[in-house]
Chain A
Amino acid sequence: MATQQFLSSFKYSDSLTVVAISFCTAIVCEAISWLLIYRTNSYKSLKSSIDRAAKKLETMKTDQNPNKLSTKKSKTKKIDRVETSLKESSRDLSLFKFKSGAVVALVLIVVFGFLNSLFEGKVVAKLPFKPIGIVMKMSHRGLKGEDATDCSMVFLYFLCSISIRTNLQKFLGFSPPRGAAGAGLFPMPDPKTN
């Protein structure tokens, strides 16, 4: 009771509710993912074959002898074969996770709908900067008034989702293998479990 009173004394205490719900959702989603994806033998074998192929490819690319032409040709062919195998394994992994990820996607949609019904039209936080472009559209979604620093639930939930889920996946070891296709400048939490 004292905690509730203390929390409600903050003008933007709704932001803590959004963070808490996002955190719980992230744990539930990872638990579902573990149940449907990560503990299965198919996933483990695909992941280890991707890791093996990626390491093999790296070794072959750095271990080329430029002097022997015939060796170089056969090395290039081997590299192509390993790269093809890596791409196929990555694709199989994506397909496998996609099927099971539908359940997690449903959970996320339900939670988002719930949060939307709770906080639609409400300012849940104050931004310490003026957003622009698409960030502005997201942060000011559904809010009245012209104050660009008012923050809606959507933007806060987006930040919570990415930050909490990415780090939770990393911590639990559920991040996609580095050798798999798709890891770029902005690696998102594993999209097939979204």
Chain B
Amino acid sequence: MKEAKPGKLNVHQQHENGHFSPFKFAKLLDPEASWDKDQLGDILHWIRQVVALFCGLLWGAIPVAGGIWIFIFLAISTGIIYGYYAMILKIDEEEFGGHAALLQEGLFASITVFLLAWILVYSLAHF
């Protein structure tokens, strides 16, 4: 049986212009921490962007070529996001709108970041 962790809304954590309120880095790895929907969405967004940038730079540096590597990136990126919220944070996804809502956070922006990094490194380093 899945261990559900209540994703209670934390009313004491205020958003000012969309920025996080100060929180310890340890919270990012703490399965007991409670998450605000916006905070969790932001974290997942930025993780996607970092993974996209890393993959783009790596794919471009090696280099790898072919459309298949776009799908490989999507699989890796999605796997990391899913692993993070399901296994590390142990989030009950129903409290946050389901898997689709969590997995689509920052998806499109991350695809463009990945393509941009990949194309730039590939073009500049290998021609």
CA–CA, A27 and B17, complex, Å: 17
Bits for B35-78, please: 1 = Cβ < 8 Å to A, else 0. 00110011001100100000000011001111101100000000
Distance (Å) between the CB of B4 and the closest chain A CB? 13
Q: Chain A: how many interface residues by the 8 Å CB criterion?
A: 37
CB contact between B37 and one of A58, A174, A175 (< 8 Å): that residue: A58
Shortest distance between the CB of A36 and any CB in chain B (Å): 16
Chain A positions 126-171 with a Cβ under 8 Å from a chain B Cβ: 126-130, 151, 156, 159-160, 162-163, 166-167, 170
Asked whether, in the complex, the Cβ of A126 is within 8 Å of the Cβ of B66, the reply is no
Q: Does B107 make an interface contact (CB < 8 A)?
A: yes
Segment 59-100 of B: residues with Cβ below 8 Å from A: 59-60, 63-67, 69-70, 95
Majority SS at the chain A contact face: mixed
Q: Is the CB of A173 within 8 A of B17?
A: yes
Pick from B19, B69, B116: contact of A163, CB under 8 Å: B116
How many B residues touch A, CB cutoff 8 Å?
A: 40
A170 CA / B127 CA spacing, docked (Å):
34
B123 adjacent to chain A (CB < 8 Å)? yes
Is B119 an interface residue, CB under 8 A from the partner? Answer: yes
Nearest CB in chain A: distance from B19 CB, A: 5
Given contacts A55-B9, A59-B9, A172-B17, contact A126 B123 (CB under 8 A): yes
Q: List residues of chain B with CB within 8 A of the CB of A51.
A: 15
A128 B120 Cβ-Cβ under 8 A: no
Give the interface of B toward A (CB within 8 A).
9, 15-19, 37-38, 41-42, 45-46, 49, 59-60, 63-67, 69-70, 95, 104, 106-109, 112-113, 115-116, 118-120, 122-124, 126-127
Can you offer 26 A-B residue contacts whose CB atoms are under 8 A?
A: A10-B124, A10-B127, A15-B123, A19-B116, A51-B15, A55-B9, A58-B9, A58-B37, A126-B119, A126-B123, A126-B126, A128-B60, A128-B64, A128-B65, A128-B66, A156-B116, A159-B112, A159-B115, A163-B112, A166-B108, A166-B112, A170-B46, A170-B109, A178-B37, A185-B107, A187-B108
